[in-house]
Structure formats: structure tokens, C-alpha cells
Amino acid sequence: MVGEILPWALEGVDLEGPVLEIGPGPGLVTEALVRFGVADLTSMEIEPAAAELLRQRYGDRVRVETGDAAAMPFADASFSAVVCCTMLHHVPTAAAQDRVLAESRRVLRPGGAFAGSDSRTSLRFRLFHIFDTHNPVDPFTLAERLAEAGFDDVFVDPVEGRFRFRATAPH
């Protein structure tokens, strides 16, 4: 994730200003964002125990909020970028995923980027998630879903095993 996928997924994304990471889980992407020099980082994690571990790990270097990315507690236009890596498939329904997309759009400043990546479904991927939520996102319908959420300049790049996406909040 950190050495290959994240640089690919975030290629060309401006990470200056306040950045929101949704669904950090154990914090692999969080750690990479800190190493990439993101100075104003907020992570939104739905699992209270995982959020607490992130708070302990990062202290005041990362603001960690506990909550649902489908109903974020942030004001409109709070962030210059929203990052979402290998998280959307953990959202249990397509409708909830669409709420995450809409909320990501809402909290972005005009011109801000929503970017990330996720895995494409496969037998191995399904087996890995046997005791976990597994609701894969179809990369071939994601562009339309992002546009419906209010994004401009939508880009989805499916490759073998994964895909990246990028979209912009309208000016």
C-alpha cells in the first residue's frame, strides 16, 4: 500500500491544507500521509477502538475523530482534500457508499480533490474478507456515482486487482 499503491492513487493530488482521511483502520495510510509531509491531517474512523489506537499512536500530530463517514460532523468545505484508500468495500451497502461519496463532496472546499483506491473483487479478496464486511465497488460504475454525488473532473483508473479514483469539488 504505502510504497506502491498510495503514490499511484494520490498522484497529482495537492495534500497541502487540511486533509481528511476516511476509514484509516489500523493507520497504514495515516502513517504514509504523515511521512509524505501532510501537516494538517484529520482521520475519521468508525470503530472506537481503532480510533483510540490511532490517537495513542499519533498524539497531536493527527486529529482522530470517531464517526461514520456517511454522516460526518464537519462543516461544509472544511478540507482541501479527502483521501479514501481501501475503505469503500467495508461500507455495507451501495446506498451507504453513495452517502460517503456525497459527504466527501460536502466537506471539500471548491476545487478540492477526493482521491483514493480500492481493490477489485476476486476469490482471494473475498476469502480475505470472509469474516468482514465485503461490498466491493464496481470501478466501471464509480465515475457515474461520483458525478451523481456532485463531483466534477471524475477519473477512475481500473487496473488488475485494484483501481484508483479522483474527482474534484466544483468551483
If one counts the domains in the chain, the total is: 1
- Biggest CA–CA distance in the chain, Å, is 42
Residue 98, classified by CB atoms within 10 Å of its CB into exposed (0-12), middle (13-18) or buried (19+), is middle
Domain containing 100 equals: 5-168
User: What would the DSSP string read from start to end of 6-53?
Assistant: HHHHTTT----S-EEEE--TTSHHHHHHHHTT-SSEEEEES-HHHHHH
Q: Does residue 129 register a pLDDT over 80?
A: no
C-alpha cell read off for 131 = 469474516
Q: Does residue 171 register a pLDDT over 70?
A: yes
pLDDT of 130 reads: 58
pLDDT of 123 reads: 54
Give per-residue pLDDT as tens, 22-38.
Answer: 999 999 999 999 998 99
Give per-residue pLDDT as tens, 77-104.
Answer: 999 999 999 899 778 899 999 999 999 9
What global pTM score does this model have? Answer: 0.91
Question: Domain holding 32: CATH number?
Answer: 3.40.50.150
Cα separation of 14 and 88, whole Å? 21
